[in-house]
Each structure stands twice: as C-alpha cells, then as structure tokens.
Structure 1
C-alpha cells in the first residue's frame, strides 16, 4: 500500500470515528447551531463529503463545470446525518475503486481551475490534500462538540496506527 493510500485510509477511519461518536450522542447534537466556521456539525460533515467528491472527480479528470454541477446531488442530505454518512461510505468505495485503477500515484496530473489556472501535481499530493482538508474539519467538529458540552473523538494519525497495529497483532 502506498503512503497516499494509507493516509486516505486514515482519513476514512477518522471520519468513521467521528460519525460513530456523534451517533452515540443525543440526536440533536449534529444539528444544533454553533457559532463556528459552519452553523452545525452536520454542515461540516456534508462539506467534507462535497470536497471529497470534488477532489475524486479532479483526480479522475472530470471537467470543472461538470464537477460543480454534480455537487448538487449532496443537497438532499442537508440536515440528514444518515444520508451524509451514506455519502461518505460511497465516496470511500469510489476512492478505492479509483486507486485500484491507478498503477502510479506519483504520476503528474494537470488540474484546470477557471480562476486559479493550471496546476501540475501528482495523484499522491492531491490525495494528501484531501486527507489534510479532512483533518482540519474534524478539528472543527471537535471544537463544536466541546462548545455543545460533549467530548470529541480522538482521531490523530497515531491512534489509527495503534489500532492498525492491534488488528494485525
């Protein structure tokens, strides 16, 4: 497994920990308004799904406007944690399908953005961006949970490594 795929697996592991933690809290917790970067925890998690969708399509070479048009498929999930979790699960499968078709994640790709222009990057660097973006927003979720009087779920990479080691052992 390449480092990029392992980090992506960490990303989905951490997201699942967040979803499972929230499922064990009072249902309204995910939807309560919080003065933060996003109005609610469910809004953060939906944003993360949209971003993961966008970047999967960028990696797949889909045209910018088609990607933007496709993001609207996530709108019915607004305010529905079960639907958001389902989207996250489907995206995980789609990413792994993408990985299975890529023999070289260090391959350079060209990304086109109407305002930012062209960027040359690798599949691996872009995957690491997806992971980093998720880490940032899981931090938002933890801060929001604390504002609402709840603890967060530990999602640091080292916890993933320990859990992975234990499952092999």
Structure 2
C-alpha cells in the first residue's frame, strides 16, 4: 500500500502543475467569472488553500475555534494569484514539517467539531481526505478553464508516478 505521504506529495505536485499552468495563460484568466461551483478559478484555488490549512491544523491538534479564526489570513489573498501561490507553498512546507514530526501516520487521533462531534481517525485517512478534496477541486479548475476557452493540465496520479519514475532514472 502506498503511504499517505506519497499521496500528499502527489497532491502538492498536482497543485503546482495547476498553478504553473495558470501562470502561462493570458493575464486575468484566473479572475474571470464563470458559472460554476465557484465564481472564478482563483476562488477555487483559495478555497483549496483554506481547506489544506484547516486540515493541517486538525492533524496538528489545534482547537476548532482557533483554526476557524486563523482562516481569516486568507482573505487578503482573494483575487491575488501571487498570494495564493505563496500560501500553497507555505502550506506544503508546513505539511512536510508535520510529516517529519508525525512518523506513524496509521496512529489514531480524535478531532472535535462543534456540530458533528468527535471523530476518531488515522492521520493517513485524514491526509487521504485532503488529497481527495484537492483532486475534486482541480477537476473544477479544469472544467472552468475549458469554459474560458483554455486547456487544462494533466494532474492524474499516474502522471505523477511516471514523472517520479523519470526523475529517478
């Protein structure tokens, strides 16, 4: 079985591919309004950063209200792809720091939610949730880019594995 850290590395790789692809599209593409799940590509990407931040803090045992209060730091990145890319980069470093501290990803931990209650989960299952959430929204981004007349960029897990194989050879 592939470990959760490799799946996170895939998540990070795929996000970078999307962000780099958008940089090569006509200026302003990320901010164009689209009739979709989110009003613009940049809004999807900011949502993904917020979610990654929330789950990293859940994994780290931070109190729910403190996590919610901390999401306010993302508001200044609204409509600013440079800031969104910076947040994504910082989050990747923070996740890697988490992985260096938490070596047993199959360990169970408890998370508290004011409405949903307590949930026992493993670190690995929670990380897989982060990856799955990102995959879903990268699909949104691809659909939105196509609506705007642009191609997407391949971010399937198998492309990650092929690229990883090539970098070893």
TM-score range, shorter chain: over 0.9
Aligned to 1:125: 125
Aligned to 1:32: 32
Aligned to 1:17: 17
- 1:88-103 equivalences in 2 (<5 Å): 88-103=88-103
Q: How far apart in 2 are the matches of 1:140 and 1:103? A: 33
Q: TM-score, normalised by structure 1?
A: 0.99
Q: Which consecutive residues of structure 2, in runs of 5 or more, have no partner in the other structure?
A: none
Q: How far apart in 2 are the matches of 1:103 and 1:49? A: 24
Deviations 1:112-153 (A, max 9, x none): 000011100000000000000000000000000000000000
Aligned to 1:74: 74
Deviations 1:27-62 (A, max 9, x none): 111000000000000000000000000000000000
SS at match of 1:27: coil
Residue 103 of structure 1: CA displacement?
A: 2.0
Q: How far apart in 2 are the matches of 1:131 and 1:27? A: 28
Q: How far apart in 2 are the matches of 1:133 and 1:56? A: 13
Q: What stretches of structure 1 move > 3 A for 4+ residues in a row?
A: none
Residue 3 of structure 1: CA displacement?
A: 1.1
CA RMSD for the aligned pairs? Answer: 0.6
Q: TM-score, normalised by structure 2?
A: 0.99
Aligned to 2:110: 110
Aligned to 1:43: 43
1:56 maps onto 2:93 in alignment = no
Aligned to 1:137: 137
Q: Which consecutive residues of structure 1, in runs of 5 or more, have no partner in the other structure?
A: none
Q: How far apart in 1 are the matches of 2:108 and 2:78? A: 35
Q: How far apart in 2 are the matches of 1:135 and 1:103? A: 25
Q: How far apart in 1 are the matches of 2:84 and 2:56? A: 17
